[in-house]
A and B are shown apart, each in its own frame.
Chain A
Amino acid sequence: MAAAMIRDLIGSLQAALGALGRYALFGARLAIETPRALLRFRLVVEQVYNTGALSLVIIMLSGLFVGMVLGLQGFDLLERFGSEESLGTAAALGLLKELSPVITALLFAGRAGTALASELGLMRATDQFAAIEMMAVDPVRRIVMPRFLGGVISMPLLAAIFSMIGLYGAQLVGVQLMGVDQGQFWSQMRGAVEHGDVMEGVLKSVVFGIACSLVAVYEGYHSLPTAEGVGRATTRTVVISSVSVLLLDYMLTAVML
């Protein structure tokens, strides 16, 4: 009984290690291909459109509402300490360092990540990768790389837009609705927020961009060539990217604080 359990445990441990290894190898492959893929920038630009521009509306809308909630909650909390003027600081730090990289990455996984995974999965299921191989073209280089890079480029830009819109959302609620002084809101923020805080957020979103894009293209490219396989690839993309974003977020925060 115990022996069987231990065997099961070792089995699943091996499976997890194997998956991690495959991810690492695929990631290394993509890293090696990156300089060459950047030369064919047109293909990357097309994917920046697919992953970035098409996610813009959902990012802006979410940013606005997250910022507005931050304005309400932040005001309620800070009012208890009589320092509602710090609302700008609180909103800016919360958005820059935590909320915008994480929420953007989660939305990205749901919107662009699933689209990528299902597109690649469908290409796998309809023999398109085999056809490309038969035309003596490397599908990783021609199909996967531009999509991966498009995601990596889009993520920090999306997160920056999220932060900016979110700040205006917080300002809208804090200043217009709750009556925080407009000048205090911005000047306190400028006094307290440092360059490093912005960079921390940008660094996070770059790391999340790499993680989410890698998961999406890996799952899509390696999906089983069936309708069910495509569905499973998109589900796995959302689950794996979300969990790894939250995990990475903790690790990055712990390192940078």
Chain B
Amino acid sequence: MATDSSSDSAAIVRVRGLHYRAGGREIFAGVDLDFPRGAVTAVMGPSGCGKTTLLRLITGQARPERGSVEFDGQEVVALPRAALYRMRRRMGMLFQNGALLTDLDVYENIAFPLREHTRLPERLVRHLVLTKLQAVGLRGAARLMPAELSGGMARRVALARAIVMDPELLIYDEPFVGLDPVSLGVVLRLIRRLNDTLGVSSIVVSHDVREITAVADCCHLLSGGRIVASGPPAEVAASTRGDVRQFMHGLPDGPVPFHYPAPDYADQAGQVR
């Protein structure tokens, strides 16, 4: 794997000509994306535009209809199961609600990948787990069960779990949803700090424009199955394209209509009577 010629290219994940449809609906109609090494890259877009699906395609949880996804020079699509699992060990993913295992406490949740993949002595496991917990500021919560954690704490624990195997790529799926301002600030700072101190690359998927622009080096805006804008956050925000402007500034009506497609109001009202 390490002998791959393109492993020192600038992009850690490269997506080319991605086509995907689900339930007869076209989600991606030819998406090209590069996620640069060592940077925080954001993918934004309105709800239901396929942001989470994109992550599933990158991590090999779903298979595209056409197109290619490369992780560190290696093709992800159609990778056999064993190789896919080997690849995933180099990724850490934070799910929307943390996705902590409900029957294990915080400590065991973070130790889970270590116990599954390594035969480390308990002393070392303990050291690793407590270090990661310290990094997210929750060393004191080691013996709590997931049900006893607040949303923000659960996400920080999940983050500790995601980094315990020292991944090269961290993937965040909607990390800001439903957090109070304080937790949000904590998570925001953690994303930035982990990216810089651990030397990883990060992909953040979100529709929270303000938070993203604060943390990302580069962002892509996804709409209608295509990338409609790419570049540094400030540049995208300054775009003059109607749909980009509407999304970035949260305008209620614009190219994305306020009304769901419907027959003329007067006609329908007349029918009812």
Q: Do A and B bind?
A: yes
The chain A residues found within 8 Å of chain B, CB to CB, are 119, 122-123, 126-128, 130-138, 142
Inside 8 A of B59's CB, which chain A residues have their CB?
134
B57-98 near A? 1/0 per residue, CB < 8 Å: 001010000000000000000000000011011011101110
Complex interface: stretch among B35-43, B111-119, B133-141, B175-183:
B111-119
Inside 8 A of A134's CB, which chain B residues have their CB?
59, 61, 88, 91-93, 95
Measured CB to CB, the closest approach of chain A to B90, in angstroms, equals 9
Could you list 10 examples of A-B contacts with CB < 8 Å? Answer: A128-B100, A128-B102, A131-B93, A134-B61, A134-B93, A135-B112, A135-B116, A135-B161, A136-B86, A136-B113
Measured CB to CB, the closest approach of chain B to A141, in angstroms, equals 10
Could you tell me if A136 and B117 are in contact, using CB atoms closer than 8 angstroms?
A: yes
Q: In the bound complex, what is the Cα–Cα distance between A130 and B59 (angstroms)?
A: 10
For A122, the closest partner residue in chain B by CB is B102
Chain A at the B interface: SS class:
helix
Could you tell me if A130 and B99 are in contact, using CB atoms closer than 8 angstroms?
A: yes
Q: In the bound complex, what is the Cα–Cα distance between A79 and B161 (angstroms)?
A: 69
Residue from B85, B86, B158 having most chain A Cβ neighbours under 10 A: B85
Query: With contacts A133-B61, A135-B113 known, is A126 near B99, CB below 8 A?
Result: yes
Inside 8 A of A131's CB, which chain B residues have their CB?
93, 95, 99-101, 158
Measured CB to CB, the closest approach of chain A to B58, in angstroms, equals 11
For A50, the closest partner residue in chain B by CB is B103
Query: With contacts A133-B61, A134-B91 known, is A126 near B85, CB below 8 A?
Result: no
Could you tell me if A127 and B97 are in contact, using CB atoms closer than 8 angstroms?
A: yes
Measured CB to CB, the closest approach of chain A to B1, in angstroms, equals 14
User: Pick the contact of A126 from B102, B103, B113, B116 — CB < 8 Å?
Assistant: B102
Query: With contacts A131-B93, A136-B85, A136-B86 known, is A123 near B102, CB below 8 A?
Result: yes
Could you tell me if B95 and A130 are in contact, using CB atoms closer than 8 angstroms?
A: yes
Could you tell me if A136 and B89 are in contact, using CB atoms closer than 8 angstroms?
A: yes
For B59, the closest partner residue in chain A by CB is A134
Inside 8 A of A126's CB, which chain B residues have their CB?
97, 99, 102
Query: With contacts A134-B91, A134-B93 known, is A128 near B113, CB below 8 A?
Result: no
Could you tell me if A137 and B113 are in contact, using CB atoms closer than 8 angstroms?
A: yes
Measured CB to CB, the closest approach of chain B to A168, in angstroms, equals 36
User: Pick the contact of A142 from B100, B102, B116, B165 — CB < 8 Å?
Assistant: B116
Q: In the bound complex, what is the Cα–Cα distance between A135 and B97 (angstroms)?
A: 16
Measured CB to CB, the closest approach of chain B to A224, in angstroms, equals 14
Could you tell me if A130 and B61 are in contact, using CB atoms closer than 8 angstroms?
A: yes
Measured CB to CB, the closest approach of chain A to B204, in angstroms, equals 16
Measured CB to CB, the closest approach of chain A to B76, in angstroms, equals 13
Q: In the bound complex, what is the Cα–Cα distance between A132 and B115 (angstroms)?
A: 13
User: Pick the contact of B88 from A122, A128, A135 — CB < 8 Å?
Assistant: A135
Could you tell me if B99 and A128 are in contact, using CB atoms closer than 8 angstroms?
A: yes
